[in-house]
Amino acid sequence: MKYLEAIGKYFIMIWEVFKKPTKWRIMKTLILKEIDELIFGAMGIIIFISFFIGGVVTIQTALNLNNPLLPKSLIGFATRQSVILEFAPTFTSIIMAGKVGSYITSSIGTMRVTEQIDALEVMGINSLNYLVFPKIVATMLYPFAVAISMFVGILGGWVAAVFGGFAPSGDFIQGLQMDFDSYHVTYAFIKSIVFAFVIATVPSYHGFYMTGGALEVGKASTTSFVWTSVVIIIVNYVLTQLLLG
Amino acid sequence: MIEVENIHKSFGDNHVLKGISTVFEKGKTNLIIGQSGSGKTVFIKCLLGLFEPDEGQICYNGQYYSKLSTKERRNLRQEMGMVFQGSALFDSMTVEGNVMFPLDMFTNQSQSEKQDRVDFVLKRVNLIDAHKRYPAEISGGMQKRVAIARAIVMNPKYLFCDEPNSGLDPKTAILIDNLIQEITQEYDITTVINTHDMNSVMEIGEKIIFLKNGFKEWEGTNKEIFKTDNKAVTDFVYSSELFKKVRQMYIEERN
């Protein structure tokens, strides 16, 4: 019952976010600020993780394809498929749920605790629109981050394959081009847009409706990370079934 | 003027406000006092429209809040200024940004007009050199003055203050009290202050409402509070030795 109530409250919050918009002149500045913090601020960790994950996927694939009859190009093929279909959109989103989600929950939660949200409400401002809408718009640029993650992940795979002696560069690149289906990239981008919405809204919900003090802000950040990850994993399953099944 | 008619407010089984009626007059500093848990904060949040009363009406200069449309309520909110207990300044903005915020949101004034207005109100609250500083970089007393400046920048008709001098030293607390009273008289606004501070009661309490367990236990002025025999009020007001002596002296003088 408690969960049903929370789900209902979450969807009411989403509805409220789009009501009574803030002046565009103000909103534009807020959106640019959020793009800087939520997307560009996360690029460093996304690039770092993607590079090494790509490398690890390549090494593990190479170690499991030790049959001399299997061509080395399969290493590139497997790396490409793993990175594009799953690692770049889903794994990166889980990382983002930790980094960006915690930031969103703690910043909104702190505003709640210090009555800054009440101050907005008293002024007659739709605080949900003011605080959450710019985050939703900013995270819609998330597919851009996922595209970079795909590129860097595959680059990491190539570096691991070539410099680790698992496959020659030509074979690896041939594998990258083998049976390429552009729909897989579209599928990854569709997933990442949905994940971006989840990353912007679930932590906002936990921050906005939290009660208590500084300790509860920390607890809310942890809870928000857990629930954002759970929602991403469930949505990932549903979207995969719908789009690829 | 704000007229409150028999308001009730409950949270689940907790009946917080139990039929409070009163009138907050224009151009006066109206104080709400009472022990912690007596319903003061809930009452002020009802006045601000942050909580909707379960029963009863609140009337702002003849407009019943419950009968207003969403747009009318929004417009009414823009006539209200609020000074929160913890100041509630926006951490990410400078002092100037905080004070300019309502002007940015609700007016189409040019940058120079807004700047003039911000400079004027900051000067009015005696803050001259803090424009570019962030809330974390200024003292509690200065934060309160910024909060007052933000609350009055839109020329509000109603000013609400939740414990405006909590956490301040006695000297700064008196300065803040006097500033609020001066602003109230200067701009002829209806000011409602929620306080625990007995100095405030004595200094600026032109009208005082004492809440106890969600009921309005007593109502009067700072002069009348000396004379009252209401036990709940005297227990609360004269709980400190200092105020007991003040009262004793007052009674002796009177006799």
Distance from CA of B225 to the nearest CA of A (A): 32
Helix (H, G, I), strand (E, B) or coil at B113: helix
Residues near A122 by beta carbon (within 8 Å), at least 6 away in sequence: B48, B49, B50, B77, B80, B82, B160
Model-level ipTM above the cut of 0.90: no
Question: Quick check: A203 and A105 in contact, CB under 8 A?
Answer: yes
pLDDT at B225 over 90: no
The string of DSSP codes covering B176-220 is HHHHHHHHHHHHT-EEEEE---HHHHHHH-SEEEEEETTEEEEEE
pLDDT in tens, B156-194: 889 999 888 877 788 778 888 888 888 888 888 999 999
Confidence of residue B255 (pLDDT cuts 50, 70, 90): low
Q: Collect all residues of chain B within an 8 Å Cβ-Cβ radius of residue A211.
A: none
Burial of B108 (0-12, 13-18, 19+ CB in 10 A): exposed
Amino acid found at A241? Q
Distance from CA of A30 to the nearest CA of B (A): 12
Whether A181 has its CB under 8 Å from any CB of chain B: the answer is: no
The number of helix segments (H) and strand segments (E) in chain B equals 10, 10
Asked if A121's CB is within 8 angstroms of B50's CB, the reply is yes
Closest A-chain CA to B78: A123
Percent of chain A with pLDDT over 90: 81
Residues on chain B bordering chain A, Cβ-to-Cβ distance under 8 angstroms: 48-50, 73-78, 80, 82, 84-86, 88-91, 101-102, 104-106, 160
Question: How far apart are alpha carbons B148 and B125 in whole angstroms?
Answer: 7
The overall average pLDDT reported for chain B is 86
Q: Which helix (H) or strand (E) holds A149?
A: helix A142-163
DSSP state of A35: I
Please state the separation of Cα A7 from the chain's center in Å: 21
Among A150, A165, A177, CA closest to A54: A150
Residues near A56 by beta carbon (within 8 Å), at least 6 away in sequence: A160
Closest B-chain CA to A115: B88
Asked if B77's CB is within 8 angstroms of A115's CB, the reply is no
Beta carbon pairs, A and B, within 8 Å: 50
Which stretches within A18-126 are classed as H helix? 24-34, 43-64, 73-82, 92-113, 116-122
- The pLDDT assigned to B144 comes to 87
Asked if A122's CB is within 8 angstroms of B80's CB, the reply is yes
Interval A124-142 mean pLDDT: 93
Question: Quick check: A122 and B77 in contact, CB under 8 A?
Answer: yes
pLDDT in tens, A150-199: 999 999 999 999 999 899 999 999 999 998 999 999 999 999 999 999 99
Whether A125 has its CB under 8 Å from any CB of chain B: the answer is: yes
- The conformational region for residue B175 under phi > 0 = left, psi -120 to 50 = alpha, else beta, is alpha
Q: Collect all residues of chain A within an 8 Å Cβ-Cβ radius of residue B74.
A: 20, 124
- The pLDDT assigned to B75 comes to 83
CA distance from start to end of chain A: 32
Report all structural domains of chain B as residue ranges with CATH numbers, in order of start. 2-79+158-254 (3.40.50.300), 92-155 (no CATH)
Mean pLDDT comparison of A179-183, A199-203, B207-211, highest-scoring range = A199-203
- The pLDDT assigned to B254 comes to 67
Question: How far apart are alpha carbons A149 and A147 in whole angstroms?
Answer: 5
Helix (H, G, I), strand (E, B) or coil at B27: coil
Q: Determine which of A111, A112, A115 to mutate to test the interface with B (most B C-beta atoms within 10 Å).
A: A115
- The pLDDT assigned to A46 comes to 94
Whether A23 has its CB under 8 Å from any CB of chain B: the answer is: yes
Asked if A122's CB is within 8 angstroms of B86's CB, the reply is no
pLDDT in tens, B234-250: 888 777 777 777 777 77
- The pLDDT assigned to A42 comes to 92
Q: Where are the domains of chain A?
A: 22-244
Asked if A118's CB is within 8 angstroms of B77's CB, the reply is no
Amino acid found at B223? K
The 10 Å Cβ neighbour count of residue B229 is 6
Whether A118 has its CB under 8 Å from any CB of chain B: the answer is: yes
Percent of chain B with pLDDT over 70: 99
Measure the CA angle with vertex B60, ends B56 and B63; round to 5°.
80
- The pLDDT assigned to B247 comes to 72
pLDDT in tens, A28-76: 999 999 999 999 999 999 999 999 999 999 999 999 887 788 888 999 9
Question: How far apart are alpha carbons B174 and B233 in whole angstroms?
Answer: 22
Closest B-chain CA to A20: B71
Distance from CA of B71 to the nearest CA of A (A): 10
Handedness of CA B177, B182, B185, B186 (dihedral sign): negative
Q: Distance of CA A15 to CAs A11, A22, A137, B65, B122, Å?
A: 6, 15, 15, 24, 38
Residues near B99 by beta carbon (within 8 Å), at least 6 away in sequence: B118, B121, B122, B146, B149, B150, B153
Confidence of residue A135 (pLDDT cuts 50, 70, 90): very high
Whether A122 has its CB under 8 Å from any CB of chain B: the answer is: yes
Distance from CA of B227 to the nearest CA of A (A): 37
Residues near A141 by beta carbon (within 8 Å), at least 6 away in sequence: A35, A39
Residue showing tokens 């629930």: A227
Q: Collect all residues of chain B within an 8 Å Cβ-Cβ radius of residue A26.
A: 104-105
Confidence of residue B1 (pLDDT cuts 50, 70, 90): confident
Helix (H, G, I), strand (E, B) or coil at A23: coil
Amino acid found at B80? M
Question: Quick check: A75 and A166 in contact, CB under 8 A?
Answer: yes
What the block records as the tokens of A31 is: 């959106």
pLDDT in tens, B79-108: 888 988 888 999 989 999 999 999 998 888
